[in-house]
Structure 1
């Protein structure tokens, strides 16, 4: 049977779905399904060092909001789950108080996960091959840009990363020696904009 390739993205457009997604375990579960393909709640619990009832509950919640679904046509006592989309997106430009609160909650959970991923890598970095230690790591740049320029820049980065999309769903396209790498993007304005349009002084 040919494996179904998930559609690219699911977009969250209301506070309820944003809050439903804003849970660390749910994000880790959907990330696991997207990265490693269909699996049962038992398999997911073992991979995430959690318990099966907890994972089962949150997988059902993900299914309720359209992030995951049972794999059809699979026999067995516990049918595997799969992701319905390859990534999740949402806009962060609403002036509605409920939407702003929901996106703030989601972004906060997401930032916590990103920090955990970085800490997990640092814990094992000393055991990494030298070529991977040299290629991976952290960095930042301070830019002076308008909001429009920043949006254009992030769109360009997204286009660059999209060159590797096919490798997520099709292992045959992954070159020898490749491995999963989490690219984390953060664009963080530093200080308020002053009346004359100049960036106010910010701490380093």
Structure 2
């Protein structure tokens, strides 16, 4: 797939793919490719703090399960990799899906805690542009699904900037959007 083609959002249904993705280095590699575009194992190693050999292994594993692909233009061991999909979603009705969801939630919550501790050091402009919010909505399961899908559609409006750095405004930074929806009574 060329960088000019739009990458779809992948719906995970294969338990083996879910198990494969539930690994800190693999998630870090997917995030690095999403932020920085195509990377070789050596370039990815510098970003994620792992060895090039370890990154090469994990990139091949991600390719085996359809998360990344070779970007082309490489020679020998210098093969750049790129995302095959803009992101993924999955239904949580298997053991593997529940394990993946738990792993991702823990990863994201740890990152949110780190950001909360550093937010005071952001420029005033970025402090005002970043946010956290909480609200309670009364929705049916069907409405909650539609709400989540609508939010994903809104966020995906900007994915062309991920795929094509030339479309990024000069003052833009990569922002992470994390959304959790769950029955409020589950925490009471």
Q: TM-score, normalised by structure 1?
A: 0.82
CA distance in 2 between counterparts of 1:76 and 1:127 reads: 43
Report the Cα offset of residue 21 of structure 1: 1.3
Is 1:58 matched up with 2:86? no
CA distance in 2 between counterparts of 1:124 and 1:191 reads: 31
When residues 89 and 20 of structure 1 are mapped into structure 2, their CA distance, relative to the original with a 3 A threshold, is: same
Is the CA contact (8 Å cut-off) linking 2:10 and 2:87 kept in structure 1? yes
Q: Which residue of 1 aligns with 2:153?
A: 159
Unmatched runs of 5 consecutive residues or more in structure 1: 95-99, 193-201
Is 1:150 matched up with 2:144? yes
CA distance in 2 between counterparts of 1:114 and 1:18 reads: 17
CA distance in 1 between counterparts of 2:91 and 2:66 reads: 18
RMSD, aligned CA: 2.0
Unmatched runs of 5 consecutive residues or more in structure 2: none
State the SS of the aligned residue for 2:11.
Answer: strand
Is the CA contact (8 Å cut-off) linking 1:6 and 1:84 kept in structure 2? no
Report the Cα offset of residue 37 of structure 1: 0.9
**Largest Rg, 1 or 2:** 1
Q: TM-score, normalised by structure 2?
A: 0.88
How many residues were matched structurally? 187
Is the CA contact (8 Å cut-off) linking 1:67 and 1:83 kept in structure 2? yes
Is the CA contact (8 Å cut-off) linking 2:6 and 2:160 kept in structure 1? no
